[in-house]
Structure formats: structure tokens, C-alpha cells
């Protein structure tokens, strides 16, 4: 295993993909733990530039002013009984700045990444399950079943999923990410089904499959145990 990892990390493309995946995981899993900023909170100015440096400098200046104000307040209280009005705290940190509504761009990026990965994962699982089911059935049975399922697959290939997504979103009152993932998954399975069907067609007459047939095993068992792996 260690030898394979060494070989993999010698590839620049693998290293780039690995860093990209780690960055996405950090944005989805770890970033919300450290930053609880609401992505819809309008707590900044319109199109505010990144202010990490200004924020850090403001924090230091605020500490010095706070200490000086505390010393001055103690002195005035001891002499005249007067209080010093404290200055406002530094403005909110916006590492990537704000958008036209004053919302933090980094918080929006983290929330959007989390939603996009959730939609992609759910849609991928749905499309894989449908594609495997149709492809395995069509490739193993063949004949009229294969022709029927292949026709359905070709119909779904020519239907643009984006149009269906827009129509469903307009028709339904709920426009959640679950609806989006469901529509994408239902319309994204045809290419998986075609690939699985081609592989199943080449495997259904192999010796180990014929041996399972002669042993009296059921079709689902043959498909799951002998062809699917």
C-alpha cells in the first residue's frame, strides 16, 4: 500500500487532485467549526475588499487603545469621577471581502461548496443505482427486454437534464437541494446503464456464469455475485 502511494504521489495530477479534495473537505467539514458566520448575514459594506491585514492591525490598535483608555479611566475616576467612552470594536473580518449585499464571500463559498457536494453525492448515488439496475438487467436477459431498456435509455440520453430541472423547480413549491439531486440523478443514469450493459453482455456467457446457471442459482444471485463485481 505504501509503495502504491509513493508511486501515486509522484504524479503531479494526483497531487493536484489530492490537494483539491483536501481543500473541499476542509471547506465542508472543518471550516464551519471555526467560523459560525451566517452566509446570508449582511454585516459588511457593499463590495468590501479583503480586510485580513486591516483587521489584524485594527485588533492590535484596539488593544493599545483599550489599555490606554483603561488607564485614563482609572486616572479620571480617581481624580474627578468621570468615565471615558470606549470606542467601537474593529469591523468584522472578511478574508475574501463581501458581495453587493455586504455578505461575507468566504462564508457563502463554504456554504455553497457544502451544498454542491451534497447534491453531487446524492445525485451520483441515485444515478449509479438506476444505471446498474437497468444495465445489468438489459445485458443479462437480452432479447426484447434489452431492446426495451435500450430504447428507454436512448430516450433519456436525448432529454437535456437542465430543462427537466428547470421545469420541475417551477412546478414544485419546494426547491430544496434534495429535489435538485433527485432530478439530476434520475436524468444522469443513461451513460452508466450503457456501459454496464456492454460489460454484462460480454460476461453473461463466461464459464463461471454458466457454472452458476448449471448449479441452479437464481438470476439475482448470479447478477450480484458473478457479474456485478
**Looking at residue 32, what is its pLDDT?**
79
Looking at the DSSP assignment, which residues form a beta bridge with residue 42? 103
Q: Are residues 122 and 223 in the same domain?
A: yes
Q: Are residues 223 and 121 in the same domain?
A: yes
**Looking at residue 187, what is its pLDDT?**
85
Which residues, other chains included, contact 52 with Cβ-Cβ below 8 Å and sequence gap of 6+?
Answer: 93, 95
Domain count, the chain: 2
Q: Are residues 69 and 120 in the same domain?
A: no
**Looking at residue 66, what is its pLDDT?**
59
**Looking at residue 171, what is its pLDDT?**
78
Residue 60 lies in a domain: yes
Residue 135 pLDDT level (bands cut at 50, 70, 90): very high
Q: Are residues 88 and 126 in the same domain?
A: no
69-106 pLDDT per residue, tens: 555 555 655 565 544 444 444 457 778 888 888 888 88
Sign of the torsion formed by the C-alpha atoms of 14, 19, 24 and 29: positive
Q: Are residues 94 and 145 in the same domain?
A: no
Q: How far apart are CA 201 and CA 221, in angstroms?
A: 17
Residue 20 lies in a domain: no
Q: Are residues 52 and 87 in the same domain?
A: yes
Q: Are residues 202 and 133 in the same domain?
A: yes
Q: Are 84 and 73 in contact (CB under 8 A)?
A: yes
Q: Are 139 and 206 in contact (CB under 8 A)?
A: no
Mean pLDDT, residues 149-156: 89
158-214 pLDDT per residue, tens: 877 777 777 777 777 767 788 888 888 888 899 999 999 999 988 888 888 888 878
Last residue of one domain, picked from the residues 103, 125, 157:
103
Residue 94 lies in a domain: yes
Q: Are residues 87 and 132 in the same domain?
A: no
Residue 168 lies in a domain: yes
Specify the residue for cell string 460489460.
Answer: 199
130 or 35: which leads in pLDDT? 130
Q: Are residues 140 and 167 in the same domain?
A: yes
Query: Residue 139 belongs to a domain with what CATH number?
Result: 1.10.3720.10
Query: Nearest 10 degrees: CA dihedral of 7, 13, 19, 23?
Result: -150
Residue 28 lies in a domain: no
Last residue of one domain, picked from the residues 103, 126, 146:
103
pTM over 0.75, yes/no: no
Q: Are residues 132 and 71 in the same domain?
A: no
Q: What is the rounded end-to-end Cα distance, in angstroms, of the chain?
A: 22
**Looking at residue 65, what is its pLDDT?**
58
Q: Are residues 124 and 174 in the same domain?
A: yes
20-54 pLDDT per residue, tens: 988 888 888 888 788 787 888 888 778 888 877 67
Residue 32 lies in a domain: no
85 or 9: which leads in pLDDT? 9
Q: Are 194 and 152 in contact (CB under 8 A)?
A: no
Q: Are 97 and 47 in contact (CB under 8 A)?
A: yes
Largest CA distance in the chain: 104
Residue 22 lies in a domain: no
- Cβ count within 10 A of residue 212: 19
Residue 5 lies in a domain: no
Mean pLDDT, residues 113-135: 92
Which residues, other chains included, contact 225 with Cβ-Cβ below 8 Å and sequence gap of 6+?
Answer: 212, 217
Q: Are residues 184 and 219 in the same domain?
A: yes
Residue 60 pLDDT level (bands cut at 50, 70, 90): low
Structural domain span for residue 148: 116-227
Amino acid at each position: 500500500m505504501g509503495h502504491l502511494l509513493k508511486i501515486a504521489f509522484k504524479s503531479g495530477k494526483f497531487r493536484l487532485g489530492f490537494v483539491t479534495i483536501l481543500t473541499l473537505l476542509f471547506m465542508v467539514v472543518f471550516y464551519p467549526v471555526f467560523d459560525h458566520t451566517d452566509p446570508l448575514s449582511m454585516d459588511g459594506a457593499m463590495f468590501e475588499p479583503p480586510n485580513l491585514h486591516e483587521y489584524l492591525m485594527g485588533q492590535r490598535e484596539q488593544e493599545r487603545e483599550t489599555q490606554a483608555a483603561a488607564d485614563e479611566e482609572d486616572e479620571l475616576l480617581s481624580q474627578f469621577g468621570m468615565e471615558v467612552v470606549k470606542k467601537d470594536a474593529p469591523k468584522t473580518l472578511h478574508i475574501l471581502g463581501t458581495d453587493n449585499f455586504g455578505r461575507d464571500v468566504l462564508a457563502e463559498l463554504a456554504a455553497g461548496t457544502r451544498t454542491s457536494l451534497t447534491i453531487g453525492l446524492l445525485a451520483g448515488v441515485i444515478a449509479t443505482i438506476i444505471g446498474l439496475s437497468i444495465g445489468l438487467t438489459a445485458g443479462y436477459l437480452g432479447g426484447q427486454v434489452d431492446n426495451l431498456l435500450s430504447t428507454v435509455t436512448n430516450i433519456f440520453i436525448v432529454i437535456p437534464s437542465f430543462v427537466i430541472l428547470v421545469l420541475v423547480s417551477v412546478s414544485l413549491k419546494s426547491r430544496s437541494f434534495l429535489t435538485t439531486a433527485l432530478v439530476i440523478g434520475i436524468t444522469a443514469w443513461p451513460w452508466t446503464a450503457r456501459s454496464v450493459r456492454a460489460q454484462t453482455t460480454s460476461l453473461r456467457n463466461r464459464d463461471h456464469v454458466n457454472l452458476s446457471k448449471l448449479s441452479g442459482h437464481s438470476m439475482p444471485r448470479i447478477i450480484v455475485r458473478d457479474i456485478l463485481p
